[in-house]
Every structure is written in structure tokens, then in C-alpha cells.
Structure 1
């Protein structure tokens, strides 16, 4: 028997709220009877993170976001990252799971010599979500670090961190010849020995890939946020052989998202 014929829409929507966003989208497409039940605010508020209001209140346009219906808000957060912490961090949701995703902008990272214009410059980029990005002019010691608190991430979730970057065309040869070391550690415990990779996509097609937003990314490592307790995840990029000059790297940030 078709349960949509005997259960009121409120009961149908309650049932759907115990599934997943991906299930809700699929059900709305294949079952006409469930389409209106899936659109109930109660369904999509259940899919939003429990602290979504406080996250939005820390953004640049909280009133316009909080005036949306729950499904519209969910989709807005999936496709349009919001800026937090004075424009140095972004937040969005993964559409199929509702898991939290963050990106630490370049200004939220610790960059050695980053405040010296001769070594790094800070410029706007039209295809960046952040007001400015970091462009490497010239250093001998390349080191970039970032950190995020595990309590703000989704619990019971396997995450991966990705360096989001570009290369200036005339300097790509350097990154082909001198791979960088990428590391992720949780509460000071390093996950593995670190990844030694070239940032040139011609050398590392399995690791360096186009994102579709004008930037490239390379996975730095992964970690399990099992309980979402108070802890710290740290990320680093290093190439500290001072016999070689480094230049030509443009950093948008480090993105932390669910590792499917």
C-alpha cells in the first residue's frame, strides 16, 4: 500500500526529516505525492546544522539569510559560501549530506614572511570568494600553516583538507622541480609522514585538479572528526631547502570538507 495515500503530509515530512538531504531531493524528483511534503520547513531545518543560526549571525548578511525559508536557506548555503570572521573564513554545506565545510582564507593562515611585500603581496582576485589572496613573490623558506577547531566541524565525519591555489605560468617549472610537503595533524599528532607532491598539475594529475571555480586544489591529508569535541586540526605546506628560491604561488586558502 502507498503510504502517501493514508498518511497526512505532516507525517510524511516527519518521516523524510529522518532521512538525508540526498534522499529528500531524490524523493521529490521521483514521487509527485512526496514533493510537497519534502518542501516543509521542518524537513530542511532538521538537515541544517544545529548551530546554523549562530553561524549565520556571524556572517556579513545575517538578516537576508534568516528571512529565507528553510529549503531555500539550505540551498543558499550549499551554493553560495558565506564569509565569517571579517572575511577571512567561509562556510558552506555539502548538498547531499548537509555536512559543514569551511575554507580558511589566506588571511587566516600563518605565512612565513607574509607581511613583507618583497616576499608576499596581497591582492584581490575576481574569482576568489575572499577580499584578497596571497601571491608569493620570492622566498627561500616557504612555510604556510593553518588551524581549525574540531568543535565547529560536523561530528562523526571523515574530513580532508585541500590547499586551494594557482600558479603563475612563468614559474610552474620551479614547482615541477621542487615538490612541497603537505601535512595534517590532530592535536599535535601528525597523520602519516606527509605528502610530498609537485604543485604542477602536469606532474601530479592524480593529486592536483581543477576545481571548476578558476582555482586548483591538492589534498593535504585527511582526519576523522569522530566526536566533535574540543580539539585542533593543523595543516601545513613546507619547502624549506634554502638553496632554492621559491616564487609564483598564489594561495586562496585551505578548504576543509567531507572526504567522500
Structure 2
């Protein structure tokens, strides 16, 4: 592009080849024609662009090899279904970038957890899965319905209908986790205004390991203190306004051939799960 102040580059970005449930950064790869040096410090470029109807700025670009640079446009959680984004690149700052031309190479996706700097190398990976990712199978499909949610960053949540059983099923892969780390899995949920049940305990069985002696007992409503035993999990309020309850734990070293099947069966002792709204599964280090 000959005029960096009038780019007018429209880019359509698809998630077709991305792993669902992974946080990605979308980066534009480019270089200026009159750049004669490469620095270890970020360069101020003030890229102006639009995503949807929103006007955005990306101020600093990082250097790559052979005088190429990269600048992050936005971050997003890759969904289960393929979707497209459109970004309109408008201009770089002539004052800081000069009057020469710019080569635009393309868009690169990087998992956000792989972009940690030297000050963040000890931070553990955190996995947030959509409700549809962990619940959509033949045993569940007829027992819930999708509903839009402005309170969820995933835009869609599921509400369970009248049923006694709810399955959680997902294949975890090693690249999603930090090595040698103990993880806790939390079901993130709310109860609809019309929900009158779910006062009783719910049993959680691990269908992969099938050890009946280690079945967990959870609650979706906080019980009386005398109803809480040693291994019971009670709901807690999250900062985002949702509730969460621990349903499972594991160590990332337990993965076999780089993967592990999460297959849980939740069964109510009494009543149904009607009115349970599931946001997703939050998997984070202990």
C-alpha cells in the first residue's frame, strides 16, 4: 500500500482452522518499505481500524524477523461453530511511521497463553469452555434449549428442562494446560427466576474412571450447615455475577498421549434440574 494514511484494507477473518475454547490474539503482519533497522523495543505506529461499528487503535507494534512487524488487533475466544470477523484497516501515523509504503503480509493467530513474557512465565494456563462444548451430545440434546445472554461473554447459554441427569463431556488436550499442575473444574451457572427446585444434593460421577467411592456431592443452592459433609461442594459467587461449584479435579500429568476425556454424570437425588442455566466450565489451577 503506497499511502499509509489511507489504507482502506478490509480483512475477513475466519475461525475455521482454530481450536475451539482457546483464547486467541489476531495479529496483522506488515513492514514499512523505508525501515532500515530492527529494534528490540516496540515501535509506536498508532494503527487506526474498525471492527464492526467500533473505532479502535493499536498503538505499538513488535518486531519479528527480516524487518517484519506484528500488531495485535483484538483477542477472542474461539467458538465451537465457525464464524467470521471483518476488520477495516484505516491508517498508520505518518508522523511516526514516515511517508513510505507498507507491505501487508496477512493475519496470524496465536494462542494468548503462548504469548507470555519473561515476567509471566510462571502463570498457569486457564481454560474456559462454552456450555455447548461440554454438554452437546445425544444424551443431552433433547433436554435443554439455547438462549441468548447479554451477561455471558459467550453470547449463548443453555437452560436445562425437566430432567434428573446432566452430562458433561469434553476432550482436554495437553496444549490447553500447564504441565505438572493440579486443576479444579467449576461449573458456572445461574438459576432462572422460575426455578423452584435444586435444593437437594446432586451426585457427580466420573464415567471414565468409574470409582464409585470417589463420587462428589455438590449443591446448586447453599444448604444448611448441618447438611455439608467433608467432600461436599457448595456454590460460590463469582465476580462476573454468575455462580460456580466445583465438580471435578485432576492433574495435567494424568493426560495419556496428550489428552484426557472429561466425562461426568450429574444426577439429582430428588426433583429435576429444570431452570438450571449453564454458562460453561471454568478449568483453572488449584
Output the TM-score relative to the length of structure 1. Answer: 0.57
**Of the candidates 193, 196, 199, which is equivalent to residue 214 of structure 2?**
193
The runs of at least 4 aligned residues of structure 1 exceeding 6 Å deviation read: none
1:223 counterpart = 2:250: yes
The 2-side partners of 1:175 and 1:226 are apart by 35
**Of the candidates 171, 176, 183, which is equivalent to residue 159 of structure 1?**
183
The 2-side partners of 1:163 and 1:101 are apart by 14
The 1-side partners of 2:273 and 2:267 are apart by 8
The 1-side partners of 2:121 and 2:148 are apart by 31
Structure 1 position 214, deviation (Å): 1.6
Counterparts in 2 of 1:125-164, with a 5 A limit? Answer: 125-164=149-188
The 2-side partners of 1:135 and 1:166 are apart by 9
Residue in structure 1 matched with residue 199 of structure 2 by the alignment: 176
1:206–1:230 Cα change, 3 Å: closer
1:256–1:159 Cα change, 3 Å: same
Residue in structure 2 matched with residue 249 of structure 1 by the alignment: 276
1:62 counterpart = 2:1: no
1:255–1:190 Cα change, 3 Å: farther
Structure 1 residues not aligned, in runs of 5+: 1-53, 71-75
CA contact (8 A) 2:80 2:133 kept: no
1:239–1:184 Cα change, 3 Å: closer
RMSD: 3.9
Structure 1 position 132, deviation (Å): 0.6
Could you say which structure has the larger radius of gyration?
Answer: 2
Aligned residues: 187
CA contact (8 A) 2:126 2:284 kept: yes
1:225–1:170 Cα change, 3 Å: same
Structure 2 residues not aligned, in runs of 5+: 1-17, 29-57, 64-71, 83-110
**Of the candidates 66, 77, 82, which is equivalent to residue 83 of structure 1?**
77
The 1-side partners of 2:164 and 2:206 are apart by 23
The 1-side partners of 2:154 and 2:129 are apart by 10
1:232–1:137 Cα change, 3 Å: same
3-state SS, counterpart of residue 236 of structure 2: strand
CA contact (8 A) 1:142 1:240 kept: no
The 2-side partners of 1:138 and 1:81 are apart by 37
